[in-house]
Amino acid sequence: MSIISVNDLAVSFGSGNDFKQVVKNVTFEVALGETFGLVGESGCGKSTVLGALAGRIKRWNGSVSIDGDEVGPKRSRAQLAKQQMVFQDPFGSLHPRHTIGRTLLEPLEIHGLNRREERVEQVLRDVGLPPSFRHRFPHQLSGGQRQRVAIARALILEPKILLLDEPTSALDVSIQAEILNLLRDLRERSNLTYVLVSHDMAVIAHLCNRVAVMQDGNFVEVTTREQLLNGSVQHFYTKTLLDGSRGYIPKTKMPA
């Protein structure tokens, strides 16, 4: 069963001599509970696809269905609540003058949800932080702790889908694995669906079930995690990305 269905998604920016088509009629589906990866070099269009899914990019062509509901560039609150985004920079995505509790309360207030204090404490526990962290400010937390808060903020509306834009690239290598393992545990515990953008093939291989390889706005190959791990990919560009990651992608199969 597909929870995300995208057909002929195209995104362009500018006009006249400045016109540029960034995403070129890509089509894909994501199954319920799956982690679908978008990988490629910087500027290939993968984060733009994520922005269109999230409703952050308002001008696009094609069709997008989320949980059986066809959506447009403008979304209702109910549609937005079904999918939430986790950004690359855990410091820049959190308001520096708001406590963690204030940050987590805000989406609950916007969507009119009840049991707010209880929800804040529970979601902090879900991401491995004590409820007392609600009284801290972002600058009082480590990078890994801030990213846990960012994940908690995405989870607090109980979405079905998380859109992950390079969620570990700003973190130390020693912390990256902790966040990836947290995301994997949360997915299994809550039957979440992820769309994960990364330029790092090791991150993709650790978490994703299937991967779309992007180059210059196009999908050049959609492959599986097993094919990445054993090197049986087809497209030259995918092989180039794998060669660049050689030594970082584990040869033994990790738990999905």
Q: What's the CATH number where 98 sits?
A: 3.40.50.300
Q: What is the band of 247 on the pLDDT scale with cuts at 50, 70, 90?
A: low
Look up tokens 């209702």; give the residue: 76
Q: What is the band of 192 on the pLDDT scale with cuts at 50, 70, 90?
A: very high
Establish if 131 belongs to a structural domain.
Answer: yes
Establish if 251 belongs to a structural domain.
Answer: no
Beta-bridge partners for 43: none
- Predicted confidence (pLDDT) at residue 248 exceeds the cutoff of 80: no
Quote the pTM value. Answer: 0.91
**Tokens at 184, concatenated:** 């994997």
Q: Which domain holds residue 177?
A: 2-244
CA distance 143 to 109: 26
Q: Residues 14-61: pLDDT tens digits?
A: 888 889 999 999 999 999 999 999 999 888 999 999 999 999 998 999
Establish if 84 belongs to a structural domain.
Answer: yes
Average confidence (pLDDT) over 125-152: 96
How wide is the angle at C-alpha 196 spanned by C-alphas 128 and 134, nearest 5°?
25
CA distance 11 to 178: 34
Q: What is the band of 244 on the pLDDT scale with cuts at 50, 70, 90?
A: confident
Establish if 170 belongs to a structural domain.
Answer: yes
Establish if 256 belongs to a structural domain.
Answer: no
H or E element at residue 100: helix 100-110
Pick the range with the lowest mean pLDDT from 30-34, 125-129, 224-228. 224-228
Establish if 253 belongs to a structural domain.
Answer: no
Q: How many domains does the chain have?
A: 1
Amino acid at 199: H
Establish if 85 belongs to a structural domain.
Answer: yes
**Tokens at 16, concatenated:** 């006249």
CA distance 253 to 35: 16
Strands 2-13 and 61-66: antiparallel
Average confidence (pLDDT) over 229-243: 87
Establish if 250 belongs to a structural domain.
Answer: no
